Amino acid sequence: VSTVASEAGLLAAATGEATEGTPTLRQYLNRIVGRPDDLRVVSREVRPADFDVTGVLEHLERIDQHPAVLFTHPQDLRGRPAEAALLANLFASRARCAEMLGLDPAQAGAELGAAYAARVGRTVTPVTVPSADAPVHAHVLQGDDATFDALPAVRHFEMDLGPVLTMAHAMRAPGEDFYNVTFAKTFPEDGGRRGGITIHTPDMSRMLREWARRGERVPIVNVLGHDPAFWLGSLALTPYGTNEYETIGGCMGRPVRLTPSVTWGAEVMVPADAEIVVEGEIVPGERTVVNPFGEISRQYQAQELAPVMEVKAVTFRERPIMQEVYSAHREHFLLGLIPREGSIFNMLRRELGNVTAVNLPYSGCGRFTCYISMKDPQEGQPKLAALKTLAAAPMFQTVVVVDSDIDVFKEEDVLWAINMYVDPHRDIDLLKGMREPTDFRAMRDNRLLVDATRPRHIAFPTRPQVPPHVLERINLDEWLANGPQEGNQ
Amino acid sequence: VKRIFWAGCPSCDRDFIVNWELRTGTIPLRCPYCTHRFLADEAARIDERY
């Protein structure tokens, strides 16, 4: 793993890119090059379909390092040098996610979700550019040349069915003018001419049902590289009928530039600034076997049947960068938890007022556990906050409410509060018969609510603290400036 | 939670997990280790406890 990126010749191409809003992919890579905690480069030839990529990422994970990794010379699915470089793990740090949304890296705690929610609330209408001005149409493969096999798809885990493309698909609702953009896995098969897509999200599943009623082939677009805020915006929790290109534009702070697809023209628009786009059609009534795959719950998802996408065209930029998510790890957790933290925080602030922070910890895969802090909660309020949270997001398995002097981003402190303040008989509630989760969990359709706020109905000790005015008086940098040297004299 | 089962591949003898929808019927399972295709009833072993 090298920290030298210049040889790739990939990162110098940020000139002439967007100047408003959040950074483009290449602008952001330029910003973090030379920061080894945030970007590493592998310049040797690698075989993504033979676990080379996840092998590197797993090594880094085991030493608690979470940089993005740019593989400049990956092989494609036929073992040839791929046109595209491969970028993984970009979203594996809260500080980077904050930066990618235009925040200071120090604003990676409670501010991150709130800032995200504010951004996606300000929708921005997309603009249309002609194909000639669309970077993603620099190269167009059609006919027999248009296959997934030209891409450096990654096989992640030992039991995975095969290499997978992990980024988002865009689909237009039939007879409507709005698009849904959703992360869904694609398993290439049949020489890369088609692939099974695991679509589980409610809105895209609904669109598929609407298309199925018409018995028509479904245009679908697999976007395999774009600006960081494009991906974060695509994960906003929006009601059906929302044009998610507008939501993404809000997140990016500038309009998404769309261009007519090469397959269907203006009938289906594709992101003009994408790195790579695969245009395809879902074949009505046809399904294929996909999975196992190591999924968000850090368990394998079982083999199942999924819709089939036939490839119609592959288009890409000059020297494209294909992105990929290291599933079942931090990056995967963060991509989904940031939008949820923001929307739950806003909902609780609106309805209860005294909620100070929300965290969906890595220990709950960023999906299944929610920590909430409240300032001076009244009797019953913690339980009410937990219930409101579960009503809004029934995928949570465990909701824990603590006082605002507990930092919900420090799991050790949350567990301390549970250990010291919780009387299981009084403070833990088991809700039975909620919606079954799609992920495998032994708790099945039951949920846990934990009120870990300090008991107020009885005399109870407080936490020890150094007087706050003393902490204010002591500037640590000044006091420690020459401390060790003096001590050694 | 969807019901799953474990199937043992009759070719390479390694096990993998499968959704219950593929337990019966004519669609072959696909072994992720050796790509062998086989019907669930042809598996070397099945763990379908539920």
pLDDT at position A454: 96
Does A295 reach chain B within 8 Å, measured CB to CB? Answer: no
Q: What is the pLDDT of residues A125-150, one digit of tens each?
A: 999 999 999 999 999 999 999 999 99
Give, as one character, the DSSP assignment of residue A81: B
Confidence grade of residue A6 (pLDDT, cut at 50, 70, 90): low
Which residue shows structure tokens 């989760």?
A437
pLDDT at position A444: 85
Burial (CB count within 10 angstroms: exposed 0-12, middle 13-18, buried 19+), residue A414? buried
Per-position b or e across A304-322, b if 16+ CB within 10 A of its CB: bbbbbbbbbbbbbbeebbb
ipTM of the complex model? 0.98
pLDDT at position A9: 52
Start-to-end CA span in chain A (Å) = 41
pLDDT at position A488: 46
Measure B4 CA to nearest chain A CA, in Å.
7
User: Using N-to-C axis directions, what is the helix angle for A330-352 and A381-392, rounded to 10°?
Assistant: 130
Distance CA(A364)–CA(A443), nearest Å, equals: 13
Distance CA(A138)–CA(A152), nearest Å, equals: 19
pLDDT at position A487: 46
Distance CA(A39)–CA(A70), nearest Å, equals: 7
User: Residue A301 corresponds to which tokens in the numbers above?
Assistant: 């998802």
**Contact at CB, A289 and B33, closer than 8 angstroms:** no
Give, as one character, the DSSP assignment of residue A131: G
- CA–centroid distance for A55 within its chain: 21
**Contact at CB, A302 and B17, closer than 8 angstroms:** yes
Confidence grade of residue A43 (pLDDT, cut at 50, 70, 90): very high
Measure B41 CA to nearest chain A CA, in Å.
16
Q: How many CB atoms neighbour CB A295 within 10 A?
A: 23
Q: In what order do the strands lie in the sheet with A369-374?
A: A355-359, A369-374, A398-403, A447-451, A428-431
What's the one-letter identity of residue A41? V
Mutate to test the interface with B, among A297, A300, A304, A435 (most CBs of B within 10 A): A304
Chain B residues within 8 A of A438 when measuring between CB atoms: 1-2
Instruction: Please give the average per-residue pLDDT across A306-327, as a whole number.
Output: 97
Distance CA(A326)–CA(A171), nearest Å, equals: 24
What's the predicted TM-score (pTM) here? 0.92
pLDDT at position A489: 42
The rounded average pLDDT for each run of 10 residues, N- to C-terminus, in chain B (50 residues) is 91 97 94 97 95
Sign of CA dihedral A427, A428, A433, A436: positive
Does A133 reach chain B within 8 Å, measured CB to CB? Answer: no
Chain B residues within 8 A of A303 when measuring between CB atoms: 16-19, 22, 29-30, 32
Rounded to the nearest integer, the mean pLDDT of chain A is 92
By the 8 A CB rule, do A452 and A422 touch?
yes
Give, as one character, the DSSP assignment of residue A240: T
**Contact at CB, A161 and B30, closer than 8 angstroms:** yes
By the 8 A CB rule, do B47 and A307 touch?
no
